[in-house]
Amino acid sequence: MSVKSDKVFEKFTEVCIIPVVVLNDAKDALPLGKALMEGGLPAAEVTFRTAAAEESIRIMAQNFPDMLVGAGTVLTVEQAGRAVAAGAKFVVAPGLDEEVVQYCLDNDIPVCPGTQTASEMMKALKMGLTKVKFFPAENAGGLKMIKAIGAALTALKFMPTGGINASNVREYLASDKIFCCGGSWMVKGDLIKAGEFDKITQLVKEAAGIVKEVRG
Ligand code: 3PG
């Protein structure tokens, strides 16, 4: 991986919990960004599941230059290009699409594809990656599965995402196979829709507190 990718992934490791957000309206990007910064998790994976994703990334990247803002649910090369043009500092996907991964590698875009099986992880390694998402983490066997496959694929570190919450994130963070966790529990759509950004800040603070407790 490149120096730029290494630096971005260092930030993932510092933040430890990456909030996964679905924004239906780009007007929510600014207050959400504030809540994430104030709460102590200066990062967001803004999923390309809504039309507002691109503009939301642009708003967050412009207003919070120190924030680790990236794009999630990136399914195509075209989306990856648009995300990066909007200011995304990384690309995450639910699965491993070789075309998307190669495009990111060729353009020095930090990329973290989703994997679930040893074969998918081996493909990631073959493409030169050492960090992958494990998705959907809880449904796919959770930490036990990561430890079992990770024991064989020792070069890989994992970002489990899917089904992680304030009750089970500690056990993931306690493992040295995990470089960070992704989750939406502190930035749920109903809270965003209701404009409950104070509540989001509280939940983010709680999550940041867990990071401190487990990782120091
Ligand atoms: C997603 O697919 O939205 C992410 O993996 C987050 O999953 P979660 O909502 O279970 O945290």
Residue 124 to residue 112: CA distance in whole angstroms: 9
167 CB-contact burial (10 Å; exposed 0-12 / middle 13-18 / buried 19+)? exposed
Q: What does the pLDDT look like over 101-122, one tens digit per residue?
A: 999 999 999 999 999 999 999 9
Q: Nearest CA to 166 among 131, 116, 213?
A: 213
pLDDT over 90 at 1, yes or no: no
Name the residue at shortest CA distance from atom 7 of ligand 1. 162
Name the residue at shortest CA distance from atom 4 of ligand 1. 162
CA of 20 to the centre of ligand 1 (A): 7
* Cβ–Cβ < 8 Å for 10, 36: no
Q: Which amino acid is located at 183 in the chain?
A: G
Residue to mutate (ligand 1; options 17, 18, 20; most atoms within 8 A of CB): 20
Residue 38 to residue 41: CA distance in whole angstroms: 8
Mean pLDDT in residue range 51-68: 98
Q: What does the pLDDT look like over 163-196, one tens digit per residue?
A: 999 999 999 999 999 999 999 999 999 999 999 9
Residue 24 to residue 174: CA distance in whole angstroms: 34
Residue 3 to residue 209: CA distance in whole angstroms: 30
Topology at the third CATH level for domain 3-210: TIM Barrel (3.20.20)
Q: What does the pLDDT look like over 9-54, one tens digit per residue?
A: 999 999 999 999 999 999 999 999 999 999 999 999 999 999 999 9
Residue located via tokens 């994992």? 158
Helix (H) or strand (E) holding 20: strand 17-21
Residue 111 to residue 104: CA distance in whole angstroms: 6
The pLDDT mean for the chain works out to: 97
